Amino acid sequence: MDSGRTGGNPRSGSAAMPVRPLSPLLLSQPREIPVPSLTVENYVKTIHQITSAQQGGAATTGQIASALDVSPGTVTSMLKTLDAARLATHRPYEGVSLTQSGRLLALRVIRRHRLLELFLLRTLDMNWDEVHDEAEHMEHAVSDLLVDRIDAYLGHPRVDPHGDPIPRADDDAVADDDLPPPRSLADCPAGSRFRITRVLDQSAGFLRYLTDSGLVLGTEGEVERNPDGAALMRVRLGRRALALAIEAAGKLVVAEG
Ligand SMILES: [Zn+2]
């Protein structure tokens, strides 16, 4: 593509807008908030994911840089933009955290992403290991109106194809960081029954391994062996027994079956 712009996201394609500082003045007048750019949306989403994974603890520049695969210098200059737009604050020695409007924007992007994933899975018959990459691009291109229509079409689902909760449009009550700490399959002692409710590692390879092993969402089973300090545990799924690495089991969130 012949693009005269520089400095944008190389994968962003024609839907991308150039990064520009959002004026704090505009932000104080809600009707005139400019549509946040793809890059701004990706930053607030990433900061939200890092801080909620560590129970609200601030993110470091290094964490953000490695999550977005950019240099720390790039992150530092983007943080100034986010600060000027009052979406995030960056305190030396403390780290980066989102403001309330930054958090709401992050939840809006996450809501779009998760509804799109479920929409692609249900309507186009895509697999749970395929939908993330598609939704990653589409989440910046769809309007809130379209997302609300998709939400209604799907019957206002509570979770996406990986078991991740879908934030509601009206409030931010169902956010990852509001949920109780998840119990993983690796924590279940021998004899306990479980049902898989969420997958934390959503790389395509791991999801395909789960599909091949019959460990999809909703799967119920019983822990046969889970010795302390061992690298392997053994579970029973119906008539089938399966050896499972503790590391893999630690990425499966379960409810009591
Ligand atoms: Zn998902």
Question: 44 C-alpha to center of ligand 1: Å?
Answer: 17
Cα R_g (the chain), whole angstroms: 20
Structure tokens at 171: 């409030």
Residue 169 in this model has a pLDDT that exceeds 60? yes
Question: How far apart are the C-alpha atoms of 226 and 184, rounded to whole Å?
Answer: 13
In a domain, 103, yes or no: no
Domain count, the chain: 3
Distance CA 244, CA 196 (A): 14
88 and 132 fall within a common domain: no
CA–CA distance, 244 with 210 (Å, rounded to integer): 10
Same domain, 29 and 53: yes
Which residue in 146, 138, 174, 139 sits closest to 52, CA to CA? Answer: 174
For residues 138 and 154, membership in a common domain is answered with yes
- How many A from CA of 23 to the centre of ligand 1? 32
- Which of 147, 178, 209 is a domain's end point? 178
> What pLDDT does residue 236 have?
97
* CA 62 to ligand 1 centroid distance, Å: 24
Q: How far is the CA of 9 from the centre of ligand 1 (A)?
A: 22
Please indicate, yes or no, whether residues 94 and 161 belong to a single structural domain of this protein.
no
Give the Cα separation of 86 and 97 in Å (integer): 11
What residues pair up with 58 in beta bridges, in sequence order? none
Report the side by side order of strands in the sheet with 232-237: 240-245, 232-237, 220-225, 193-199, 252-256
pLDDT band at residue 55 using 50, 70 and 90 as cut-offs = confident
Domain that holds residue 122: 111-178
Of the residues 138, 159, 178, the one at which a domain ends: 178
Model pLDDT for residues 175-216, shown as the tens digit of each residue: 555 566 679 999 999 999 999 999 999 899 999 999 999 999
pLDDT digits (tens, 9 = 90+) for 60-111: 999 999 999 999 999 999 999 999 999 999 998 889 999 999 999 999 999 9
Distance 135 CA to ligand 1 centre (A): 9
**CATH code for position 23:** 1.10.10.10
pLDDT at 23: 44
Residues 162 and 194 in one domain: no
Q: 41: number of CA atoms within 13 Å, CB side? A: 24
Query: If you measure from the C-alpha of residue 32 to the centroid of ligand 1, how many angstroms do you get, rounded to a whole number?
Result: 31
Residue 116 and residue 159 in one domain: yes
Q: Which of 143, 178, 213 is the last residue of a domain?
A: 178
Question: How far, in Å, from the CA of 164 to the mean position of ligand 1?
Answer: 6
C-alpha 24 – ligand 1 centre gap (Å): 32
117 is written with which tokens? 């994933």
Please tell me whether residues 167 and 193 are part of one structural domain.
no
Q: Report which of residues 136 and 175 the model is more confident about.
A: 136
Report d(CA 20, CA 148) in Å as an integer: 28
pLDDT at 14: 42
CA of 197 to the centre of ligand 1 (A): 12
> Would you say 151 and 211 are in contact if contact means Cβ atoms under 8 Å apart?
no
